[in-house]
């Protein structure tokens, strides 16, 4: 008998909870693996999926969102060996898992920290509460910890994301863990390919509410994307440059930067 040939994996996109090939049919060869190269149409499909999922995800209880992120941490821990095979160190897998657990713990506490009962002159209750911004476009770094660090704070607060990843094998393998973590389809969508080709379509898209450029190292690309985003008045998280160190304590800013504050007046009873 001839020696059996191994099945060669193709790293596809992750859109709406499914793993489609790029509509363009294009692939790139990355470290010997076939990786889908996303197109403008793929970006539009991902935004549609993210927008469709956003109301239900934002309407879920904070406790439920925390449960799902914790489940994602469990699934990431279970696939430790696969990530190590992709060149991710055991320490980074542990740090990424711990970061998911950390954000899961904040899910039902953030509103208490960022919300407020405001003092007013008159017989009224005046309450401020955080709400998600909506659909967020994210240019993700190639590392597993970096990817988790930009996606988790966006989704734990009720946003949905369209991610353009520069580390395709790691990103799609992580998507496979999310697909089995009870995360509703469309909450996280991952496009692989050239950010310079795909990101401008997210930056100019009318149905994308915010753009996270924290991990963009190319200053010229970041400036172009900021200009594109200005046309639709998007909230933009500007590049951190050399400060983009995802190994440090992230604090609350990655979560609060993607929240809106809603203030409600209500008359007191007599």
pLDDT band for position 241 (cuts 50, 70, 90): low
> How does the average pLDDT of the chain come out, rounded?
92
- For residues 26 and 36, is the Cβ–Cβ distance under 8 A? yes
Specify the residue for token string 């363009």: 24
- Higher pLDDT residue, 1 or 73? 73
- Higher pLDDT residue, 30 or 2? 30
Domain boundaries, the chain: 10-267
- Of all helices (H) and strands (E), which one includes residue 73? helix 62-78
- For position 118, what pLDDT does the model report? 81
Specify the residue for token string 């994210």: 138
Question: Per-residue pLDDT averaged across 132-146, rounded?
Answer: 95
Task: Render pLDDT for 65-84 as a digit per residue (tens, 0 to 9).
Answer: 999 999 999 999 999 999 99
Distance of CA 266 to CAs 68, 132, 269, 270, Å?
A: 34, 22, 9, 13
- For position 114, what pLDDT does the model report? 87
Task: Render pLDDT for 175-209 as a digit per residue (tens, 0 to 9).
Answer: 999 999 999 999 999 999 999 999 999 999 999 99
- For residues 181 and 26, is the Cβ–Cβ distance under 8 A? no
pLDDT band for position 58 (cuts 50, 70, 90): very high
- For residues 93 and 80, is the Cβ–Cβ distance under 8 A? yes
Task: Render pLDDT for 92-102 as a digit per residue (tens, 0 to 9).
Answer: 999 999 999 99
Residues comprising the chain, all counted? 270
Q: Is 65 helix (H, G, I), strand (E, B) or coil?
A: helix
Q: Strand pairing of 27-30 and 33-36?
A: antiparallel
pLDDT reading at 116 higher than 90:
no
Q: Is 121 helix (H, G, I), strand (E, B) or coil?
A: coil
Question: For the CA atoms of 173, 138, 178, 22, what is the dihedral angle to 10 degrees?
Answer: -60
**Percentage, residues of the chain above pLDDT 90:** 74
- Higher pLDDT residue, 161 or 34? 161
Question: Per-residue pLDDT averaged across 153-161, rounded?
Answer: 97
Note the CATH architecture for domain 10-267. 3-Layer(aba) Sandwich (3.40)
pLDDT reading at 265 higher than 90:
no
pLDDT reading at 242 higher than 60:
no
pLDDT reading at 270 higher than 70:
no
pLDDT reading at 45 higher than 60:
yes
């Amino acid at each position: 008998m001839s020696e059996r040939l191994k099945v060669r994996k193709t790293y596809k996109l992750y859109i709406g909870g499914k793993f489609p090939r790029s509509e363009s049919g294009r692939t790139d060869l990355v470290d010997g693996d076939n990786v889908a190269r996303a197109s403008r149409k793929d970006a539009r499909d991902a935004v549609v999926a993210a927008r469709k999922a956003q109301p239900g995800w934002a309407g879920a209880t904070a406790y439920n969102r925390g449960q799902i992120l914790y489940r994602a941490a469990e699934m990431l821990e279970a696939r430790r060996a696969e990530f190590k095979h992709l060149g991710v160190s055991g320490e980074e897998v542990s740090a990424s898992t711990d970061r998911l657990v950390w954000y899961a713990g904040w899910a039902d506490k953030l509103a208490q920290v960022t919300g407020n009962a405001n003092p007013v002159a008159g017989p009224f209750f005046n309450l401020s509460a955080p709400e998600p911004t909506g659909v967020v476009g994210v240019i993700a770094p190639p590392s597993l910890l970096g990817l988790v660090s930009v996606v988790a704070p966006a989704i734990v607060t009720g946003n949905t994301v369209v991610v353009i990843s520069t580390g395709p094998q790691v990103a799609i393998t992580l998507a496979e863990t999310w697909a089995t973590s009870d995360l509703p389809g469309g909450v996280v969508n991952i496009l692989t390919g050239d950010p310079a080709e795909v990101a401008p379509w997210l930056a100019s898209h009318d149905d994308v509410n915010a753009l996270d450029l924290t991990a963009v190292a190319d200053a010229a690309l970041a400036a172009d994307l900021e200009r594109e985003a200005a046309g639709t008045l998007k909230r933009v998280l500007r590049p951190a440059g050399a400060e983009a160190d995802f190994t440090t304590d992230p604090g609350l800013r990655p979560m609060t930067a993607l929240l809106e504050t809603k203030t409600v007046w209500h008359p007191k009873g007599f």
